[in-house]
Chain A
């Protein structure tokens, strides 16, 4: 469990980091390191260089600005967990953060790393899909914004180019009558999800659904946005029938495979169950009934 040798660099600015990445095609970004370092210890990852972005200034923040909640990529999970703003207005994000790994991991693991690593078993990706978030990528030509739906290309593969760094993530600012929830089944604390479902609802004044977001964790090569289920809910009242239909559609779009965490059928069943539960909880929260 000893990693292979590598060169370590610790740039002080984003520009310097981007330049190092550009010059070293075998370099990897080291953020919280809680996925990368274990992979290096197994020698499943043997990068020739690490570009440590922990010393970069200004990448750790949680703030509402304009139409968005902006989160710096190097914001630690524990900071999200402790944020009053997140707890108060972004219940889906708060739910998600609390079930990532364990408290010690959350003290170092970053929201940017969780997303950029693009492990379909990671939790933030599905949540960001449900929110309809956007990712800010900074490269040699400056910043660009990537809709989260275009971000995950394959397992561990994103639309970031090698010399781009995910520097921020932004979530549509919380509006009145909105709420969400994340439901996750893990075999034990700290495990990856057997299945998890993220749901975010915005309700109209009449109680009908203005918009719905549903993201699925660990039931495919990428996190999955349950678009058909979202569309089926839009304009409807959330009731047994609409929940059932949305849960069915979500489970259809899932692509789970049988593994040590369960059979394909079991996982589809979990998608149905968790979609229902997450939607009910999201609605309860949107109506102000709970955090």
Chain B
């Protein structure tokens, strides 16, 4: 059972932690860094509630070990708003009631941010494909 010193940037802030090899990235984010906006829904790489951006690409943080993210730049939902202003995606979700219980919403928003970065004018099919298909 190895432990590792890792350094990674989360929402622009650098963190160094001593972690057990098996610590999942989502647990590092939630428990160690106390960024609890990233949620755990399925535990098994299905639902996407735990989606974060890893070097700009949306991935499921439940299916990666924290040690693998050493040196990476991570963006979580907490990093969307800047200077107290909601990110346009957050504004959009609010305005259009784009949530019910809101549990998976952080994952949906992170995925959406990445989708729009790749494709600023998606049609419905692009959105369906980009979010879940």
Judged by CB atoms under 8 Å, the answer to whether A and B touch is yes
Contact mask A153-179 → B, CB, 8 Å, 1/0?
000000000000000000000000000
- B21 at interface by CB-CB < 8 Å: yes
Chain B residue contacts of A41, Cβ below 8 A: 24, 43-44
Residue in A40, A41, A42, A103 whose Cβ sees the most chain B Cβ within 10 Å: A103
Majority secondary structure of chain A interface residues (helix, strand, loop or mixed): loop
Residues of B contacting A74 in the complex (Cβ-Cβ under 8 angstroms): none
Asked whether B36 is an interface residue with its Cβ less than 8 Å from the other chain, the reply is: no
Docked complex Cα distance between A105 and B111 (Å)? 12
B interface secondary structure, majority: mixed
Residues of A within 8 A of B48 (CB): 102, 104
- With an 8 Å Cβ cutoff, the count of chain A residues facing the other chain is 31
Q: What 0/1 readout, one digit per residue, does chain B (92-133) give for beta carbons within 8 Å of chain A?
A: 000000000000000000010000000000000000011111
Q: How far is the CB of B50 from chain A (nearest CB, A)?
A: 10
Contacts of A78 in B (CB 8 A): 57
Residues in A with CB closer than 8 Å to B57 are: 78, 107
A7 touches B21 (CB 8 A): yes
Answer whether residue A257 sits at the interface, using C-beta atoms and an 8 A cutoff.
Answer: no
Q: Is the CB of B44 within 8 A of A33?
A: no
Q: Is A235 an interface residue (CB 8 A)?
A: no
Chain A window 98-120, contacts with chain B (Cβ cutoff 8 Å), 1 for yes, 0 for no? 00011111011000000000000
- A34 and B45 contact, CB distance less than 8 A: yes
A104 touching B46, Cβ below 8 Å: no
Closest to B3 in A: A8
Cβ of A50 within 8 Å of any chain B Cβ, yes or no, is yes
Q: Are the C-beta atoms of A104 and B2 separated by less than 8 Å?
A: no
Q: Does A287 contact B (CB under 8 A)?
A: no
| A108/B22 in contact, CB under 8 A | no
Q: A241 — which chain B residues lie within 8 A by C-beta?
A: none
The stretch among B9-17, B59-67, B83-91 that forms the contact with chain A is: B59-67
Question: Which A residues are in CB contact (< 8 Å) with B60?
Answer: 104-105, 108
Asked whether A45 is an interface residue with its Cβ less than 8 Å from the other chain, the reply is no
Within 8 Å by CB of B67, from A5, A8, A101, A105, lies: A8
Q: Is the CB of A105 within 8 A of B68?
A: no
A4 within 8 A of B: yes
User: Which residues of B from 33 to 73 have beta carbons under 8 Å from A?
Assistant: 43-46, 48, 51, 54, 57-60, 63-65, 67-68
- The reply to whether A5 and B20 form a contact with Cβ atoms under 8 Å apart is yes
Q: Which of B1, B20, B68 is the one whose CB lies under 8 Å from A52?
A: B68
B45 in contact with A37 (CB, 8 Å): yes
Given contacts A102-B48, A104-B59, 11 further A-B contacts (CB under 8 A): A5-B21, A6-B2, A7-B21, A38-B45, A41-B24, A50-B65, A102-B133, A105-B45, A105-B63, A108-B54, A108-B59
Q: Which A residues contact B (CB, under 8 angstroms)?
A: 1-10, 30, 33-34, 37-38, 40-42, 50, 52, 54, 78, 101-105, 107-108, 189-190
